[in-house]
Amino acid sequence: MKISSLHLLVLLPLLFFLKHPVQAAAPLTKVVMTSGSASERDGVVYVAQDQGLFRKYGLDVSFVQVRNGPVAMSALSSGETQFHWGSVSGANLGAIAEGADLVFVAGFIQIQEVHWLASP
């Protein structure tokens, strides 16, 4: 039996799909991240969400603004949130001093403090 070019056009794609089965997309991991401030630093997270950066790496991030650092530390310590976006404060250090299992991952802003002095 001769194989015509039409048969080849039908069979070759089928062989490809049999060799490479289609897999379902993995569900996104839900993550809640808090911030205890409303500043320009939080803009980075909103841009990352809008650009799909979190989804690209399999995360469904909910970014929640809370009133202040102590509220965020309570949510983090209770397991209601998985991450806190913020800088070192009394709330963070106090929670760690009281035994909370918290870890600082990285500093997201580099500011050099400057003090101005003037002669009278």
- Quick: pLDDT tens for 58-107: 999 999 998 888 888 888 888 899 988 877 777 788 888 888 888 777 76
Instruction: Report whether pLDDT(119) > 90.
Output: no
Which one has a higher pLDDT value, 19 or 59?
59
Split into its structural domains, the chain has a count of 1
Q: Is the dihedral of CA 84, 87, 91, 95 positive or negative?
A: positive
Q: What is the mean pLDDT of the chain?
A: 76
Instruction: Report whether pLDDT(4) > 60.
Output: no
What is the pTM for the complete model shown? 0.63
The three-state secondary structure class of 91 is: helix
Domain span at 91: 29-97
Please indicate, yes or no, if residue 75 is contained in any of the structural domains: yes
Please indicate, yes or no, if residue 65 is contained in any of the structural domains: yes
